[in-house]
Amino acid sequence: MNPGSPLHLLVALLAAPLLGGIIARIKAIAAGRHGAPLRQPYFDLMRLARKGEVRGKGTTILFVAGTLVTLAGALLAIALTPLGRFPALLSFPGDVIAALSVLGLGRFFTIVAAMDTGSSFEGLGASREAFFSALAEPATFIVFAALARATGTVSLSGLLAGLPPAMWHSQAPALFLAAAALLILLLAENSRIPFDDPTTHLELTMIHEVMVLDHSGPGLATVLYGAALKLWLFTSWLAALLVPKTASPWIGTLWTVGTILGVTVLVGITESTMARLRLLRVPQLLLSAAALAAVAFLLVL
Partner 1 sequence: MMDTLLILLLLIDLRLLVTSRLNSAIHWAGAQGLLLGLLALNNAGLHAGFGATLLIALTIGSKGFVFPWLLLRALRSTGGHREVEPYVSANLSLLLGMVLLGISYWLGDRLALPGIEKGSLLVGVAFFSILTGFLLIIARKKAIMQVLGFLVLENGIYLFGTGLAPHTPLFVELAVLLDLLVAVFVMGITLFQITQEFDHMDTDQFHHLKE
Partner 2 sequence: MIPIVIALSVLLTSAAVVLLAPARWSDRIGTGGVVLASLGGLLGAGAFFCGFPGRPLHLPWPVPLGSLRLELDALSALFLLPLFLVALFTALYSPAYLKSHGDNPDHRSFWTFTHLLLAAMTLVVLARDAVFFLIAWETMAISSFLLVMHEGDRPGTVTAGWSYLIASQVGTALLIVFFLLLGQGGTDLSFTALARAPHRLAGTAFLLALIGFGTKAGFAPLHVWLPEAHPAAPSPTSALMSGVMIKMGIYGVLRAIVLLSPLPSWCGYLLIAVGIGSGLTGVVFALAQHRLKRLLAYSSVENVGIIAIGLGLGLVGLTARLPVMAACGFAGALFHLFNHALFKSLLFMGAGSLLATTSTDDLNRLGGLLRAAPRPGRAFLAGALSISGLPPFNGFAGEFLLLFAAFQGVLAPAQLPALTGLATVASLGIIGGLALACFSQAFSAVCLGTPRDGRITPTPLPQAMVVPMEGLALLCLLVGLAVPFFSPLLAPVLDLLGSPAGAPPLSLRAAPLGAIAGVSLLSLVLAGAFALVRRRWLRTRPPCPAPVWGCGFAAPSPRMQTSSTSFCAPMVAFFSGLLKTRRSASPLDELYPDSGSLATDTPDTVQSLLIQKPATAIWHRISHLRRIQSGHMHLYILYIALMLILLLLWKLGGRP
Check residue 140 for interaction with partner 2 (CB under 8 A): yes
CA distance 62 to 276: 31
Residues 53-83: b if buried by 16+ CB within 10 A, e if exposed: eeeeeeeeeebbebbebbbebbbbbbbbbbb
State which of residues 46, 49, 97, 298 lies at the interface with partner 1 (CB under 8 A): 298
Are the C-beta atoms of residues 85 and 252 closer than 8 Å to each other? Answer: yes
The CA-to-CA distance between both ends of the chain, in Å, stands at 34
Number of amino acids touching partner 2 (CB under 8 A)? 79
Least Å distance, CB 268 to partner 2, is 28
Q: Phi first, then psi: what are they for 83, rounded to 5°?
A: -125, 120
251 binds, options partner 1, partner 2, none, Cβ within 5 to 8 A by partner type:
none
- Is residue 165 reached through a cis peptide bond, with omega within 30 degrees of 0 on the bond before it? no
Check residue 282 for interaction with partner 1 (CB under 8 A): no
Residue with Cβ nearer partner 2 (35 or 217): 217
Check residue 71 for interaction with partner 2 (CB under 8 A): yes
Are the C-beta atoms of residues 175 and 167 closer than 8 Å to each other? Answer: yes
Q: Which residues pair with 83 in a beta bridge?
A: 86
Number of amino acids touching partner 1 (CB under 8 A)? 14
Check residue 60 for interaction with partner 2 (CB under 8 A): yes
Least Å distance, CB 10 to partner 2, is 16
CA distance 60 to 269: 40
Check residue 138 for interaction with partner 1 (CB under 8 A): no
State which of residues 182, 184, 213, 299 lies at the interface with partner 2 (CB under 8 A): 213
The number of residues in the chain equals 301
**Biggest CA pair distance of the chain:** 59
Contacts of 136 (CB under 8 A, 6+ apart): 185, 188, 189, 286, 289
State which of residues 218, 246, 266, 288 lies at the interface with partner 2 (CB under 8 A): 218
Are the C-beta atoms of residues 19 and 232 closer than 8 Å to each other? Answer: yes
Are the C-beta atoms of residues 51 and 215 closer than 8 Å to each other? Answer: no
168 to 197: interface string for partner 1, x by CB under 8 A: -----x---x--------------------
Residue with Cβ nearer partner 1 (99 or 292): 292
Least Å distance, CB 291 to partner 1, is 6
Residue with Cβ nearer partner 2 (53 or 251): 53
State which of residues 135, 261, 265, 277 lies at the interface with partner 2 (CB under 8 A): 135
Task: Please give the residue ranges that form the binding site for partner 1 (CB under 8 A).
Answer: 173, 177, 283-284, 287-288, 290-292, 294-295, 298-299, 301
